[in-house]
């Protein structure tokens, strides 16, 4: 992991005469006073830093607010402020980073802490049926005590303009997908505004992490969002391994990357088919379903699970590859990439499909930068972000991706990025397997010390996943925070569909393909 930004930000704080204390060696964290919390964010925003995440923790009855920032090749920096005993409010970062809005609403929901200056503190994940004073991430909250259901309803934004009307969609949808509510404000068939209401698949993941040992909790990390099980597992393991000062063997790192790139290929292929199906082109959907199924079947044979679940664990991976398995993986990867290259040529000749996707759901580069949009969504709108390159975690520090960026930010651009990334993932897999080091693939994981922490990012197929872990006594997890890329990209979807015809919403929604489960935790 690359934390060079920490020293750069520390220099900026010294110039601004903002006192701070550096705690921890790797990763280091800059602790500032409560009054300096917002000024640090202001400086960060002015210097072009991206807000990666904002979250809270509680230690011995005292609350700490954390933030992670990033800036290209300088990597990442952690900043925190510890609130005084009895203080339950902090300065909001929303005036400097609009992307902090929902993160702070979650802090308000789960800790009861108030972000001063926040423009919208309606409940977000903690729906209105929850008791008012139930704060599930506080240490005094009992996980196994049933809560009394309260009456309440969410105050959606309303429209009363002439000719306008509202269309409520969900949370139950006409398909085998997760629940989420979409409230459209429409004139004719054109969307004026979309308001999302999420949280229907909140499972208490962060609470369930507490008091688990690092090895057992890896199974939960693998189930945060099943279609990104490898990436979430890897981010969790990197953070846990940082906490004990551990680096896995080169062979294990290579195998993790191979699994993550295969996961990227499988999901991009599935998304391409589904997007084209929403534009009534069943041919592409059938071809992509066939290819994705081929990938899943080989995963089952070589790694014991179609989605590669529970293969990445603290200390390495649970399955190794022999010569035959390596050859099968290489051959299939190249064959699938070849077919997708051919299908891309066919796609480019389909003028009726191209008419549907070009110009639909566009996001400007400026708006994408303001929101910090990630992964395919960000790169399709000129955002040159990729944690594999910027965080430089092994083995990508020696085998970096060829990051593809384009302009337009529409469905067509998001499709193009997916097609390109499939080819680059195939290139990476070939190189990683050809250069697969000898040695162990898994080693015992030692118990983390009390007060140790780790922060890691991994570039999933959706974009950057961020995970922060702090350990308590006995090597048990005291707090584990996870920021799925969907926490940020859901905001982009609301922006993208403004002025889009209602029938084109499914097309745009699928081109984003945000995770409900990863967002709701």
Question: Helix, strand, or coil here: 281?
Answer: coil
Q: In sequence order, what are the beta bridge partners of 468?
A: 455, 481
Are 472 and 325 part of one and the same domain?
yes
Q: Give the pLDDT band of residue 47 (cuts 50, 70, 90).
A: very high
How far apart CA 42 and CA 46 sit, in angstroms, is: 6
Q: Answer yes or no: is pLDDT of 499 > 80.
A: yes
Residue 52: pLDDT above 90?
A: yes
The phi and psi torsions of 442 (rounded to 5 degrees) equal -155, 140
CATH of the domain at 33: 3.30.460.80
Q: What is the CATH number of the domain that holds 256?
A: 1.10.645.10
Q: pLDDT tier at 169 (50, 70, 90 boundaries)?
A: very high
Of 116, 150, 165, which residue is a domain's last? 116
Last residue of a domain, which of 116, 139, 171?
A: 116
Place of tokens 């097309």: 507
Residue where a domain stops, chosen among 116, 132, 150: 116
Inside any domain, residue 26: yes
Q: Over 80: is that where the pLDDT of 175 sits?
A: no
- Bridge-partner residues for 469, per DSSP? 454, 480
Mean pLDDT of 286-295: 98
Confidence of residue 110 (pLDDT cuts 50, 70, 90): very high
**Claim to verify: residue 314 and residue 455 sit in the same structural domain:** yes
**Domain assignment present for 139:** no
**pLDDT digits over 26-45, tens only?**
899 999 999 999 999 999 99
Chain-centre distance for alpha carbon 392:
17
Residue 426 lies in a domain: yes
Q: Are 170 and 194 in contact (CB under 8 A)?
A: no
pLDDT tens string 54-66: 999 999 899 999 9
Q: Is residue 32 part of a domain?
A: yes
Q: What is the arithmetic mean of pLDDT over 375-396?
A: 97
The CA distances from residue 475 to 221, 232, 349, 457, 504, in Å, are 17, 21, 57, 22, 50
Identify whether 156 is part of a domain.
no
Closest CA to 99 of 412, 369, 300: 369
Q: How far is CA 472 from CA 83, 243, 479, in A?
A: 19, 11, 8
User: How much is the pLDDT for 266?
Assistant: 98
217 and 82: one domain? no
286 occurs within a structural domain: yes
Domain count across the chain? 2
Question: Do the domain assignments include residue 136?
Answer: no
Cα–Cα dist 228/484, whole Å: 10
Q: What is the mean pLDDT of residues 349-368?
A: 95
pLDDT of residue 237: 98
**Beta strands at 190-197 and 312-313: parallel, antiparallel or unpaired:** unpaired
Establish if 7 belongs to a structural domain: yes
Coil/strand/helix, residue 69: strand
Confidence band (pLDDT; 50, 70, 90) for 161?
Answer: confident
Query: Which pLDDT score is estimated for 176?
Result: 79
Q: Which residues of 400-430 are buried (b: 16+ CB within 10 A; e: fewer)?
A: ebebbbeebbbbbbbbbbbbbbbbbbbbbbb
In this predicted structure, the answer to whether residue 438 has a pLDDT above a threshold of 80 is yes
Average pLDDT over residues 334-354: 96
Q: Give yes or no for residue 350 having a pLDDT over 80.
A: yes
The confidence score (pLDDT) of residue 177 equals 84
pLDDT digits (tens, 9 = 90+) for 221-230: 999 999 999 9
What pLDDT digit, counting tens, does each position of 83-101 carry?
999 999 999 999 999 999 9
Q: What are the distances in angstroms from CA 378 to CA 159, 374, 387, 463?
A: 30, 4, 12, 9
The domain of 93 spans: 3-116
Average pLDDT value for the chain: 96
Q: Phi then psi for 322, rounded to 5 degrees?
A: -90, -175
């Amino acid at each position: 992991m690359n934390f060079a930004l920490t020293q750069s930000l520390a220099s900026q704080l010294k110039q601004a005469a903002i006192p701070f204390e550096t705690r921890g060696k790797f990763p280091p964290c800059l602790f500032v006073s409560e009054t300096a919390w917002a000024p640090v964010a202001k400086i960060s925003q002015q210097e072009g830093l991206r807000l990666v995440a904002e979250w809270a923790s509680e230690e011995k009855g005292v609350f700490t607010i954390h933030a992670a920032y990033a800036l290209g090749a300088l990597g990442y920096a952690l900043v925190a402020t510890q609130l005084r005993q009895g203080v339950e409010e902090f300065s909001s970062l929303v005036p400097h980073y609009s992307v902090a809005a929902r993160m702070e609403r979650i802090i308000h929901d789960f800790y009861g802490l108030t972000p001063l200056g926040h423009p919208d503190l309606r409940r977000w994940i903690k729906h209105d049926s929850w008791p008012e004073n139930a704060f599930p991430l506080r240490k005094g909250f009992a996980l196994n005590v049933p809560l009394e259901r309260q009456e309440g309803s969410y105050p959606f934004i309303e429209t009363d303009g002439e000719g306008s009307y509202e269309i409520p969609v969900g949370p139950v949808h006409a398909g085998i997908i997760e629940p989420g509510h979409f409230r459209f404000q429409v004139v004719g068939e054109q969307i004026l505004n979309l308001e999302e209401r999420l949280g229907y698949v909140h499972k208490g993941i962060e609470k369930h992490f507490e008091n688990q040992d690092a090895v057992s909790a890896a199974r939960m990390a693998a189930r945060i969002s099943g279609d990104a099980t490898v990436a979430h597992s890897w981010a969790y393991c990197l953070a846990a391994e940082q906490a004990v000062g551990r680096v896995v063997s080169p062979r294990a790192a290579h195998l993790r990357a191979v699994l993550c790139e295969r996961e990227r290929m499988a999901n991009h292929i599935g998304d391409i088919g589904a997007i084209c199906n929403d534009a009534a082109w069943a041919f592409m959907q059938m071809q992509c379903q066939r290819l994705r199924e081929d990938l899943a079947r080989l995963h089952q044979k070589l790694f014991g699970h179609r989605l590669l679940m529970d293969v990445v664990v603290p200390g390495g991976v649970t399955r190794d590859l022999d010569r035959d398995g390596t050859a099968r993986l290489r051959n299939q990867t190249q064959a699938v990439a070849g077919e997708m290259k051919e299908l891309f040529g066919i796609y480019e000749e389909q003028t009726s499909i191209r008419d549907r996707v070009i110009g639909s759901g566009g996001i400007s580069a400026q708006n994408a930068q303001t929101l910090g949009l990630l992964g395919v969504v960000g790169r399709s709108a000129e955002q040159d972000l990729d944690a594999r390159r910027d965080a430089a975690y092994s083995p990508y520090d020696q085998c970096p991706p060829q990051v593809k960026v384009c302009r337009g930010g529409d469905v067509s651009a998001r499709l193009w990025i997916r097609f390109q990334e499939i080819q680059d993932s195939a290139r990476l897999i070939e190189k990683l397997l050809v250069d697969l080091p000898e040695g162990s693939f898994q080693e015992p994981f030692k118990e983390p010390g009390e007060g140790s922490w780790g922060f890691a990012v991994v570039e999933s197929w959706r974009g950057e996943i961020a995970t922060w872990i702090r350990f308590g006594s006995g090597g048990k997890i005291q707090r584990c925070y996870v920021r799925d890329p969907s926490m940020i990209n859901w905001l982009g979807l609301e922006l993208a569909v403004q002025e889009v015809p209602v029938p084109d919403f499914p097309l745009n929604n699928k081109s984003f393909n945000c995770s409900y489960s990863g967002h709701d935790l």
